[in-house]
Amino acid sequence: MILVILTETALFSIFVVAYLFYIGKSVSGPYPHEVLHFPWLGSILLFGSSGTIVAAEHHLKKGSMGGFHLWWFITFAAGVGFMFWTLNEWMHLIYHEGLTISTNLFGSTFYSLVGLHASHVLVGAILLGLILIMSLTGRIQHRHHQHVEMISWYWHFVDCVWVVVITVVYIISANS
């Protein structure tokens, strides 16, 4: 999992550098400051899910499967909620603000970087859902806590990447 995270970090770094390189180089609008709003709800869902996954892991290590199921489900639901928030943001940007991937450089780099992150959240939510199903059917037990911890590492990585995305997309470029 460490190698996966390192590889993904390199990939995200390329997309972040490209986004930063092209800030302010669009010759036509819309521009970030005109259409982006700070992602409060999406951030609360995603950052909160880091806390809930830690609670789930704690319960699994103690052998409390009921607590594990509850907190793991809440983590899964927060991930799905984040995906719905992203979809809603994109629908608004496309249909109300006219920002598509082909509109300008901002649109191209925005959807590439944010879409890359969203694809990782989607993979994480699928993994969370699979672990939940396997756990509810008795195939994940206390002794599997180290395996489940690897999924948790991935989920924390996705959260860390969101910190970078917020900083670059919603703070730096929206204020430049």
DSSP 131-154: HHHHHHTTSS-GGGHHHHHHHHHH
The tens digit of pLDDT for each residue in 1-37 reads 899 999 999 999 999 999 999 999 999 999 999 999 9
Residue 92 lies in a domain: yes
Q: What is the CATH number of the domain that holds 143?
A: 1.20.120.80
CA 25/CA 22 separation, integer angstroms: 5
Residue 10 placed within a domain = no
User: Alpha-carbon torsion 150, 151, 155, 158, what sign?
Assistant: positive
- Per residue in 45-65, pLDDT (tens digit) is 999 999 999 999 999 999 999
Within a domain: 130: yes
Give a yes or no: residue 32 inside a domain: no
In a domain, 106, yes or no: yes
pLDDT in tens, 90-128: 999 999 999 999 999 999 999 999 999 999 999 999 999
Q: Would the pTM of this model clear 0.85, i.e. be above it?
A: yes
Residue 167 lies in a domain: yes
Domain count for the chain: 1
